[in-house]
Amino acid sequence: MRIKRRYCLFTVLLVIASVASGLTFEQNPFNTAANTFRGRVLGFELFRIPSDSMMPTLMPGDFIWVSTSAYKDKPPQINDVITFLYPKDKSVNYIKRLIGRPGDTVRIENFKVYVNDEEIQQPYLDNALVRKPYSRYMQPVVVPEGSLFVMGDNRDNSNDGRFFGMVKRSDVIGKATLILFGKNNRTGNSIE
């Protein structure tokens, strides 16, 4: 009889927890594009970096922590490293650096990026990796409302906003904050 009551109580608690989790998932309290319970309810995602488009900041094979709650109360900032749904295929996650926000005018001249006619500081860039013509110059573009402009740190080897256009703010998953496992003694480094 006791076992039956415990089993019944356990079942009721399990149903309540499942319903509460499902409701929280649907409400999306962090306003993220994440499609997982972990991202929508627990506030984080884990990703492995597949390419060298964010070198030297992130290397292929790095395993990173992404805060899906980072933008709950504040908008993404210039130079944040963000994850988002790829505009041409929403089933693919991308990671790039935020360069322009709504209303900003972004341009590239002689490999330097300007936002609203001010050169942005890019200490994360390895200038030896920036040589291609499309990294040298880009006509000014104005970032529309509800959108963001992103670029990879490895400018010559990055499929980014210069090629696929703007990222919708609603497609942002979160802010990359920490290298959980990385090469070259970078494990535990924050992502700047």
- Residues 47-62 pLDDT 10s: 999 999 999 999 999 9
Q: Which DSSP symbol is given to 38? A: I
Q: Does 127 lie in the same domain as 99?
A: yes
Residue 21 known to be catalytic: no
- Residues 23-48 pLDDT 10s: 555 667 788 888 887 788 888 999 99
Instruction: Decide: 172 and 87 in contact? Cβ < 8 Å.
Output: no
Residue 90 known to be catalytic: no
Q: Does 67 lie in the same domain as 6?
A: no
44 closest CA partner among 74, 66, 28: 66
Q: Quote the CA–CA distance of 192 and 70 in Å, as a whole number.
A: 14
Quote the pLDDT of residue 93: 96
Q: Does 62 lie in the same domain as 6?
A: no
Which candidate in 96, 135, 158, 175 is catalytic?
96
Q: Which DSSP symbol is given to 181? A: E
Count structural domains, the chain.
Answer: 2
Q: Does 133 lie in the same domain as 97?
A: yes
**What's the CATH code of the domain at 94?**
2.10.109.10
Q: Does 96 lie in the same domain as 38?
A: yes
Which candidate in 4, 21, 51, 53 is catalytic?
53
pLDDT for 171 beyond 90: yes
Q: Does 122 lie in the same domain as 43?
A: yes
Q: Examine residue 188 and state whether it is found in any structural domain, yes or no.
A: no
Q: Does 88 lie in the same domain as 18?
A: no
| Mean pLDDT value across residues 8-35 | 66
> Tokens 């300007």 — which residue?
114
Quote the pLDDT of residue 19: 55
49 or 111: which leads in pLDDT: 49
Question: What is the extent of the structural domain holding 177?
Answer: 31-181
